[in-house]
Amino acid sequence: MVCGTFTRTKVPAADVQNVIDAYKENDPPPTSVISKADGAGTFTVVATWPDCPANTTHSLAGSKAR
């Protein structure tokens, strides 16, 4: 089960769209994916799914986003 928020930092500009696409290929897809320049020539990408139920941990195990 994918739930919660995942953040990737220092993503090179050339790889941002690939990271976003990989997050979106999950089942279920995230409710949102945003990217923001971090001022160092790289980007931070944040993918958000619904909150995790109580007593669970979130994981992208088996995910296409790595």
pTM above 0.85?
Answer: no
Answer yes or no: is pLDDT of 11 > 60.
yes
pLDDT per residue as tens digits for the range 18-66 = 999 999 999 899 999 999 999 889 999 999 999 888 887 666 655 555 4
The CA distances from residue 42 to 6, 14, 60, 65, in Å, are 17, 9, 22, 18
Q: Are 55 and 1 in contact (CB under 8 A)?
A: no
Q: What is the pLDDT of residue 54?
A: 84
- State residue 39's pLDDT score: 87
Which pair of tokens denotes residue 29? 């897809």
